[in-house]
Structure 1
Amino acid sequence: MITAPQKKKVIQVVNVMETGTPEGRYDQISIFADGKNGSRQITYGRSQATEQGNLKNIIERYVAAGGKYADKFIHYLPLIGKKPLVDDAEFKRLLKVSAREDPAMRDAQDETFDILYYAPALHFFQDEGFTLPLSLLVIYDSYIHSGCVPPFLRARFPEMTPARGGDEKAWISAYLKVRQHWLGNHSKKILRPTVYRTKSYLKAIQQDNWMLDKPLLANGVTVA
């Protein structure tokens, strides 16, 4: 069973991978040409929701909660994911100021990432018979970064999950190595540097930090 402190550490490590701090930078905006057909898009918040992905979900939650800037976001709702807002200065200003000034925006982000990413990752973790906190970290990171544990990557190594009679540590190790090779050679060059994620987790395995009871060095930042 994953404890509350272990869940917190899992989230803190992934926060570092996404925005460089264990607490997460709720107001961080990045622009990447990683949208449909190589289009530029906004990525936002603690776990970097994309404009063409789940950014709208965050804003919908914020508006429904009656956030301080809800009335200013309302007219953007039909546009998010439909019309590019990457060059809309006012929209980006609202994203930043709401995260800095209004706890409701931070809550909206936490709820979105918990419901759309952590919960499915935990379901996969439990359904496939995993038990170790580092395994959950690897799986959750994959959900945040890729939306799931991609079946095509699972098909590239022979190890079975614990629920299918396999060894947990062997599966996680094999998955990380396959994922690292995939990211490092990805057709989208923007993804290649993100092997810092898998390298950090493979180092944690070398240190036998399966219980996450030791400090973990996440892309140069130590999470105690």
Structure 2
Amino acid sequence: MLSELQKETAKAIVNIFETGSARGDYARVTLLTGDSGHLTYGRAQTTLGSGNLHLLIKAYCATPGAAYARTLKPYLPQLADIDLRLDTDWSFRNVLKEAGGDPVMRDVQDDFFDRVYWTPALASAKRTGLGEALSAAVVYDSVVHGSWIAMRDRTTAKAGAASSAGERRWIGVYLDTRRDWLASHSNALLRKTVYRMDAFKALAASGNWSLDLPMMVRGVRIDPDALCLRPPVNASAIEVATRNLRLTDPKMSGNDVRALEEALSKEGYAINRDGIFDEGLETALKSFQRDFGLVDDGIAGPATRLMLGI
């Protein structure tokens, strides 16, 4: 079990990767040419392309006292549809920046990033056989950055399960595997993010598996007075946009819906596996979300898919 200090240190490391600050930048709006995540926002730079920006703004608009809820609500349908025209919608981008100064938005982001990234990442790390604080930080970073499951499976194919290979050796192989993947990626922006793996490799080499403070990460000292000295490259490693599955009219259908049905069936939920997102599938999905501590909104977003392993 990680301590609260270890948890906050792990999050601070990823904040540095994403925004250059250990505390994170709640108002940061970024769009890098060639970034498959498209428009990114907030403390952990959640992306339009992943569908998570929709879920974040949806949660904010539903929170009492949200100062910019009325302005942001009209954008929810476009966010849900991953409408890439929002990349260059300056009115939308400006209101996001302004909303970043709202204390309600900061609280919503803290809760959202814990719920959508940290908690599923910790659960996935545990299922993989990883328990050390540095390992949790590595998994959390990959969940935020993208492609954790693909790199996990590639590492297991090379090194075997963490339980047999040994956790520290497995993480070492993982860091090398992910670094090689980033360094040779067709997206030039991702090739510039190998520093994330280099930072973790340095912590591992120093023996700081417990994430003891103080520490230096990319020129930033992590302690109560953390100071950013240089900006990061924060391109998303999301390969393609994956739609958030939900009840719509007409109903969603396809292989991704079928994969969701199969995953829920494996978890013991009785559903009709026909590849159509209907009311019965929504009911089963909400039950799964409640059972696993997720928001039971009936939307199969990135956090729910991660918990299901799809």
Alignment TM-score > 0.5, same fold:
yes
Q: Which amino acid aligns with 1:125?
A: A
**Counterpart position of 1:178:** 177
CA–CA separation in structure 2 for the residues paired with 1:146 and 1:153: 14
SS of corresponding position for 2:149: coil
* Alpha carbons of structure 1 residues 63 and 210: separation in structure 2 relative to 1, 3 Å: same
The alpha-carbon deviation at position 152 of structure 1 amounts to 4.6
**Counterpart position of 2:5:** 5
SS of corresponding position for 2:165: coil
> Post-superposition, which runs of at least 4 consecutive aligned residues in structure 1 deviate over 3 A?
none
Q: Which amino acid aligns with 1:96?
A: K
Question: Which of 42, 60, 64 is matched with 1:45 structurally?
Answer: 42
Contact 1:25 1:46 (8 Å CA) reproduced:
yes
Task: Report Cα offsets for 1:13-42 as digits up to 9, x if no partner.
Answer: 110111001100011111022238xxxx21
Greater Cα radius of gyration, structure 1 or 2:
2
**Counterpart position of 2:302:** none
CA–CA separation in structure 1 for the residues paired with 2:84 and 2:175: 36
More displaced, 80-89 or 200-209? 80-89
Cα RMSD over matched residues?
Answer: 1.6
* Alpha carbons of structure 1 residues 208 and 214: separation in structure 2 relative to 1, 3 Å: farther
How many positions carry a matched residue from both structures?
217
The alpha-carbon deviation at position 212 of structure 1 amounts to 0.8
* Alpha carbons of structure 1 residues 218 and 153: separation in structure 2 relative to 1, 3 Å: farther
CA–CA separation in structure 2 for the residues paired with 1:136 and 1:149: 14
**Which structure 1 segments of 5+ residues have no match?**
none
CA–CA separation in structure 1 for the residues paired with 2:84 and 2:204: 43
Contact 2:21 2:220 (8 Å CA) reproduced:
yes
Larger relative contact order, structure 1 or 2 (CA cutoff 8 Å, min sep 6): 2
CA–CA separation in structure 2 for the residues paired with 1:134 and 1:27: 28
Contact 2:28 2:97 (8 Å CA) reproduced:
yes
Matches within 5 A, 1:73-84: 73-80=72-79, 81-84=82-85
Contact 2:156 2:162 (8 Å CA) reproduced:
no
**Which structure 2 segments of 5+ residues have no match?**
224-310
SS of corresponding position for 1:84: helix
**Counterpart position of 2:114:** 114
The alpha-carbon deviation at position 147 of structure 1 amounts to 4.9
Calculate percent identity across the aligned residue pairs: 35
Task: Report Cα offsets for 1:154-187 as digits up to 9, x if no partner.
Answer: 255224212xx33010000110011001001101
More displaced, 192-201 or 212-221? 212-221
Task: Report Cα offsets for 1:97-125 as digits up to 9, x if no partner.
Answer: 1111x111112212221111111110012
CA–CA separation in structure 2 for the residues paired with 1:197 and 1:13: 9
SS of corresponding position for 2:193: helix
Contact 2:155 2:173 (8 Å CA) reproduced:
no
The alpha-carbon deviation at position 68 of structure 1 amounts to 0.3
The TM-score normalised by the length of structure 1 is: 0.91
CA–CA separation in structure 2 for the residues paired with 1:174 and 1:148: 14
Task: Report Cα offsets for 1:62-121 as digits up to 9, x if no partner.
Answer: 100031010001111111113521111111111001111x11111221222111111111
**Counterpart position of 1:96:** 97
**Counterpart position of 2:105:** 105
